[in-house]
A = this chain, B = another copy of it.
Amino acid sequence: MMLTLSCVRFCSGLTTFRTAAHVRPLHSVSGITVAQIDEEVAKLLELKAQLGGDDGKNQFVLKTPKGTRDYNPKQMAIREKVFNTIIGCFKRHGAETIDTPVFELKETLTGKYGEDSKLIYDLKDQGGELLSLRYDLTVPFARYLAMNKITNIKRYHIAKVYRRDNPAMTRGRYREFYQCDFDIAGQYDAMIPDAECLKIVHEILSALELGDFRIKVNDRRILDGMFAVCGVPDDKFRTICSTVDKLDKMSWEDVKKEMVVEKGLSEEAADQIGQYVSMQGGMDLAERLLQDPKMSQSKQACAGLSDIKLLFSYLQLFQVVFDLSLARGLDYYTGVIYEAVLTQAGVAPVANDTQNGAEENVSVGSVAGGGRYDGLVGMFDPKGRKVPCVGVSIGIERIFSIMEQKAEALAEKVRTTEVQVMVASAQKNLLEERLRLVTELWNAGVKAEVMYKKNPKLLSQLQHCEEAGIPLVAILGEQELKDGVVKLRVVATREEVDVSRADVISEIKRRTSEA
């Protein structure tokens, strides 16, 4: 296990998975003129839409809205497979699930996303409440907990969220996209739920066979403490942090130059930071930093490091054997923070589905992230009562893209149905016989299909099986009817065998349950 301080990402703002939660006024309009222009534009566009409607049916633009896509059956099959793996893991860990509306009261979202509030989709005021589409699942979750006075729950929530961002769809960045969150809320003993979140990330990424990955771990308190003992003034934490975060793409020399020249940090402080962020290690590094004469001066850092030690010990019990190195941090988080990145060369170029403007701040290959956020639920409680939470968000859109690319690269046949047997006929006038047999199969719980033609050609029925990946064909013909049998054909081998009509259902059930 490795803990690296090389890649400090504290103030990187907003991310793929979770978003900053500092209370701030809404981005105010610069003048009444802008608003008026907007309204005029709206009026004209509305008028345009009305005219379009009157023009009749040939005026339709056949497209989905910018930044969105349909999922075709093949994409849905991949999506279902990924969801089944992930939900299977969540259920194995005893999670419940909830759902919330796709829109929230505008004021529920107000002040939760800082500058990114401008990316929120608002609904038109049609009289009544002002509504906005949800921007993530975490704020609705906090609202749900506060509203229902729930103080402990282990829940997952998989649903679409909406961001009026600049889409980059070829790189998996959409305006409508799935989030896939697992969170544990409640007052528990330190680091036990936190460790389970990491165990879950490990299980899911392993099960999905996405290749090698690395999970980076850090703690907001370690970062805050490190900046303090290195002599970074409080008001420069954020800006220095966002510079250090560039170590992914810039050399240390350039990072240092930016801190000193552009941001006015003392060279001494910069050098001290440089020492820490180059460190890598595991439990041993946490130990070493606890003994470090400077770091040990920060109570905060020590608390964070002790918790990281505890986390490591639990992860050992969980048989989680990945390298740990330093994850980015977020304003949002109050304790442990983590991020999982894919490290396999072939996978990285799949791109960056950060879903927000701060793309350059998020690792290429990032597929999961999370941490502890003990303050968010309290923002919704009239008395500010806190509900400690820790959670993880799986970067499901990225994973879809990878799986889709993989299927394509391997020229893998993705089945879009689960049909086990096709009921076919070899001659004309056998529709009734086909319908009878397919009914028996359906009633026996077998996934079966029949062509919606009175007299389909045998060849076209067999071709359909090849195309749709249906493994078995039950062929009815005049001779078979006379002999009281059905011909079973294995599509892959073209092997055929006659089975008595009375036994055909059980024979098909036997063969399909084997598969």
Contacts and interface: CB of A to CB of B under 8 A. Distances in A.
A275 interface: no
Nearest to A43: B35
Interface string A91-109: 1111111111111111110
A319 to B, nearest CB: 5
A137 to B, nearest CB: 12
B95 A417 contact: yes
A42 interface: yes
A110 interface: yes
A111 B53 contact: yes
B65 A96 contact: no
Number of copies: 2
Contacts of A448: 92-94
Contacts of A122: 123-124, 126
A73 interface: yes
Interface stretch (A223-231, A296-304, A402-410, A437-445): A437-445
Interface residues of A, number: 121
B105 A454 contact: no
Contact of A442 (B45, B107, B199): B199
A125 B42 contact: yes
A146 to B, nearest CB: 6
Interface stretch (A333-341, A376-384, A485-493, A496-504): A376-384
Interface stretch (A9-17, A185-193, A209-217, A359-367): A185-193
Given A26-B49, A104-B64, A192 B130 contact: no
Given A73-B96, A94-B468, A103-B176, 9 more contacts: A23-B57, A24-B53, A26-B50, A46-B125, A63-B147, A65-B105, A92-B448, A102-B102, A317-B435
6 contacts: A38-B125, A41-B125, A46-B130, A92-B447, A95-B417, A124-B124
